[in-house]
Amino acid sequence: MEAGINVSGYTNHITQLCKALIKSKVDLGIESSIHPSLMQYIEPKIIDAIKKPYNDEITVSITRPESWAVKISDRPKKFYGYLVFEGSKIPYTWKVILEKYKYVIDGIIVPSEHVLNSILNAYGNKEQYHDIPIYIVPEGVNTKLFKPIKRPKNKLFEFLFMGGWAKGENDRKGLDIALKAFTQEFDASEPVVFSAKVNISYAPKEKIINDLKNLGINTDAKNIRFGFDTVPEEVQAKLYQNADAFVMPTKAEGFGLTIAEAMACGLPTIATNYGGHLDFFSDKVGYPIEIDHMCKATDSYPIYEDAEWAIPSIESLRKQMRYVYEHQDEAKAKGKKAARLMKKYSWENSAKKLLSVFWFYKCLDI
């Protein structure tokens, strides 16, 4: 699969998971809702699985809950919903669906404790939730590709950001926050650069640059680099491996795939101290950004109407970026520790954990 940075995290997740399941010799049928424009990035064996007829012994639906009813109406013997959510609390409409179908849903699968808590928070507390079993099955990393390499020291210390941009200053990934912190902390005369590989699946290059300029960011600065091209997964791994540190001041994550990939490459990682990545990210293996405050999710999309996100502190981010730059040997050692940890988060292990939830696997509905 050429899972370039212009492929959505959703598409990357399901295709990599399916590859791991196929490798485990599972009799796999896939019903796909992947956008047709993204099918070009999917390997032939995944396409074959999409076209293959399947029976409804067990269905796992990796879609939003509002789509689960369609597959439940097919009356599979067992139904599991794979739920991913970034905010602090799932929307009320999702809670209604869970309650309506609680006697026919055999389990809810989530990628992190953060998502599990977002479900429980909709009920007020853990004691009030007593309906459907919830299983944590983490997403994964291609650990054969995303791994540390030996390379010469860069002449310029490179901070890397990798993510999307869709909602201007309300965007979830925090590119604007990263750029503001970098330009405030580092003078143009210092041997430091900030590289941003931006996913243009959500907004075109021209809009992204214009948005950032409107926020007062000098996108033409010599120490700031942008990349908007679609690149294959192999090149994406090299971007991590050739950088010196990874920066992700995200407001919320269901799992945090780019954070996991950066850590798997041994990259010293600076990320917000909030979200699904806290299952594997801490000050022992990275550099957490303190939370400035919690606020109503800044994305106006209806599913976030009841959710809060964390606004990372620019001062804390500046401090962590400066510290990593001035303590490079320590940061590299911490990056190596992170890479060792992330070996446990392969897609193969993710597939094994998914299979352990039930005794037999027949259908993956996505």
Q: Which CATH class is domain 157-345?
A: alpha beta
Q: What is the pairing mode between strands 291-296 and 308-312?
A: antiparallel
Q: What pTM was computed for the model?
A: 0.91
Question: pLDDT tens digit string along 282-291?
Answer: 999 999 999 9
Tell me the average confidence (pLDDT) per consecutive run of 10 residues in the chain, 366 residues long: 46 80 72 63 72 70 88 85 95 94 93 96 80 93 95 94 89 96 96 95 89 92 93 92 98 97 98 98 98 95 94 98 98 98 95 81 47
Host H or E run for residue 124: none
* Residue among 81, 79, 141, 137 nearest 113 (CA): 137
- Regarding the domain delimited by 9-140+346-365, which CATH topology (the fold level of the hierarchy) does it fall under? Rossmann fold (3.40.50)
How far CA 93 is from CA of 16, 18, 89, 100, 187, in Å, comes to 29, 29, 11, 11, 48
Q: State pLDDT tens for residues 337-362.
A: 999 999 999 999 999 998 888 765 44
Q: Do domains 9-140+346-365 and 157-345 have the same CATH topology?
A: yes
Cα(88)–Cα(71) distance, integer angstroms:
27
Nearest to 160 by CA among 38, 52, 33, 247: 247
Q: Tell me the domain boundaries of the chain.
A: 9-140+346-365, 157-345
